[in-house]
Chains A and B, each alone.
Chain A
Amino acid sequence: MIFTRRAVAAILASTLATGAAAQDDGPTRVGFIYVGPVGDGGWTYEHDQGRLAVEEEFGDAVETVYVESVPEGADAQRAIEQMALQGADLIFTTSFGFMDPTVAAAEKFPDVKFEHATGYKTADNLSIYSARFYEGRAVQGHIAGQITESNIVGYIASFPIPEVIRGINAAYLHAQEVNPDVEFKIIWAYTWFDPAKEADAATTLIEQGADVILQHTDSTAPQAAAEAAGNVYTFGQASDMSEYAPMPRVSSIIDNWAPYYIERTQAVIDGTWETSDRWDGIDTGMVGIGEITDAIPAEVKASAEDLRDRIGAGEYHPFTGPINRQDGSVWLEEGETADDETLLSMDFYVEGLTGTIPE
């Protein structure tokens, strides 16, 4: 077993070595593996914007390739390895589900640099990166708590994973801070991108009295549902979704991968690329807060922008104690801030949220 794996690695490595040698004079090849179509208007769209920014930045010095709608699992590994075979120097795999396939590909292609988004496994030639979306969620919660009149905020969640739970907690904490009576209604859609399901979820939440909808899914269907219902506020997710501004979309969380992709590509060109674990937020612009529209009161807008700036400047951490867990036990003492390890594996609600996290 070990022998066979080594043998394959050796064959691949030798082929690659010749390929790489032939490529030295040519442009640096950067590959992207997408989980959705580039036209999804959300997650994959923003990664592709990052790719285009790399092309624009480096011009002829860099060539980019991508494969879209790659299923997670065995197909992902082939898509990644195929890119490596064909001379990619740096490959970004942009979905959590690509983790094990990326690890396996990185083992087979030691001379190619890999970057995996939102995972936790690294190697000598495999870095990980993600964004602190919860910082944006805090700003959303801060706005939502103040503009809701029914005191019911609807939340379309995707999957019960730490990232999503973190977002719910961050939004709730900051909504509750400005409005102690606020209540969150959460629907688990079990999808990242399914316009029909997302529209259903939004409509259900609105029927249950929600007048603000937060979404952790990528389509604009909830925006359309809110627009149809009227007097319901929404926030763009992953991309700005500004076509629904100024109402119902009053702000957004924008994933801005461009600076990171440019930086890492530059590192490969310079030969300075090293394994890293990057988790950036509002500070570097990886998490962008889309324009807050005038559909909400000026003082709310001003205080939200202030919150955004304080988080960006590192003056304030969205998870600053005292915070209790849902069961009433103490999580963070007064003034204590959450450590990244706890945030990355968060599997509990904070006090005040109702319902349970599905298993």
Chain B
Amino acid sequence: MIALEKRPQPSTIWVYLAPLLAVVLTMIVGGILFAALGKNPISVISAIFYEPLFGEFAFYYRPQLLVKAAPLILIAIGLSFGFRAGVWNIGAEGQYIVGAITGAAVGLALYPAETRLIFPLMVVAGALGGWAWGMIPGLLKVKFGANEILVSLMLVYVAEQLVAAMALGPLRSPEGRGFPGSRNLSQWASSANPELMAGTGVHWGVVAALIAVIFAYITLSRHIFGFQVRLTGQSPRAARFAGVNPGRMVLACMGISGALAGLAGLFEVTGPSGQITIDFNVGYGFTAIIVAFLGRLHPVGILLAGGLMALTYIGGEIAQSNLGLPGAAVQLLQGMLLFFLLAVDVMTNYRLRVGTREVA
């Protein structure tokens, strides 16, 4: 007989082993899926996981990995604070959108001024926009006990309507022949978020993501706030005795995640995306939730997980265009990654016992 037995303490080995095992299991089951679709599983898996890094056109894909990973990491770092403390911000996608809107709006209000000072101003506006959008579920939670999961999620849909309205209305480019969409911010020197070194894909969003990783690492391991976050997550009661104000904790966590998501949106709208459009958001805010958990809510883990997720995106596109893999199969692969992680995670807190249990 096989039984699960709770470990007295979470297994340290499994904490690190679980993500790796999840990746391996994803590759295996994904491979079976691809084979069922009539593709050679080995070539699909290598197109996804090998080509972008070491393939013929790696010089092009490596920078793209950074471009794709940066917003994921930035948002996931923000989310990790809340997730550790038991504050569930599911609406980073909305905060990402609003950050892009407020940042872009500030920039466009100053169009066509030619000064590099506009960009930092937009960065601040983007962070504030995301922060404010995150504060709504935060305050509702603190004041009225409203469930932040539901409120933050619902606000994503509000933000999606808002960005469509902005693309069609106030932020619409006057030179766009009546089509929706703002001016291209990446083509206006004052607001552009360009590649900092040619061919590397490093733009300000990548720099910000790396700073966020370092900052989060120090905060969580050295700063009193990081201690309070961890304590609240492990034992809310103990945290209260230790003088942690739960309401303030909620606001801090929603604020941090909102601001970082807003920043991610701003760097996207001024750089790779360039425009506020009706379909501006592409799901970074939701994917970042997977990234945060895949990275064990640890800053360095998130850095690696963000890279891995970006790899599945870029590699997935390669598999699509070279091997004719359907787009949905790639999304399935990404979903499987989180699924297996959660499944394997059982082993962190439980162990398998084979044979009959001794009667105590």
- Interface residues of A, Cβ cutoff 8 Å to B: 1, 3-5, 7-8, 11-12, 15, 31, 37, 65-69, 71-75, 77-79, 81-83, 85-86, 96-97, 100, 120, 159-162, 165, 190, 344-347, 358-359
Extra contacts besides A4-B197, A65-B321, A344-B177 (20): CB < 8 Å: A12-B60, A65-B324, A67-B327, A71-B279, A72-B277, A72-B279, A73-B279, A74-B274, A75-B317, A78-B317, A79-B317, A82-B60, A86-B322, A96-B179, A97-B278, A159-B168, A162-B177, A162-B178, A346-B178, A358-B168
Contact status B179-A161, CB under 8 Å:
yes
Contact status A75-B199, CB under 8 Å:
no
Contact status B168-A8, CB under 8 Å:
no
B65 to nearest A CB, angstroms?
10
Does B348 sit within 8 A of A, measured CB to CB?
A: no
User: A residues within 8 A CB of B189?
Assistant: 1
Instruction: Pick from A5, A74, A346: contact of B67, CB below 8 A.
Output: A74
User: A residues within 8 A CB of B178?
Assistant: 161-162, 165, 345-347
User: A residues within 8 A CB of B168?
Assistant: 159-160, 358-359
User: B residues within 8 A CB of A65?
Assistant: 321-322, 324
User: B residues within 8 A CB of A160?
Assistant: 168, 180
- Interface residues of B, Cβ cutoff 8 Å to A: 57, 59-60, 64, 67, 161, 164-165, 168-169, 177-181, 184, 189, 192, 194-195, 197-199, 268, 271-275, 277-280, 282, 313-314, 317-318, 320-322, 324, 326-328
Cα A346 to Cα B179 in complex, Å, equals: 10
User: A residues within 8 A CB of B314?
Assistant: 78
The 3 closest A-B pairs by CB, nearest first: A74-B272, A4-B198, A73-B273
Contact status A37-B327, CB under 8 Å:
yes
A56 to nearest B CB, angstroms?
17
Cα A28 to Cα B178 in complex, Å, equals: 36
Cα A345 to Cα B175 in complex, Å, equals: 10
B314 to nearest A CB, angstroms?
7
Contact status A81-B326, CB under 8 Å:
no
Cα A79 to Cα B319 in complex, Å, equals: 11
User: A residues within 8 A CB of B195?
Assistant: 4, 8
User: B residues within 8 A CB of A1?
Assistant: 189, 192, 194
Cα A83 to Cα B184 in complex, Å, equals: 24
Contact status A159-B278, CB under 8 Å:
yes
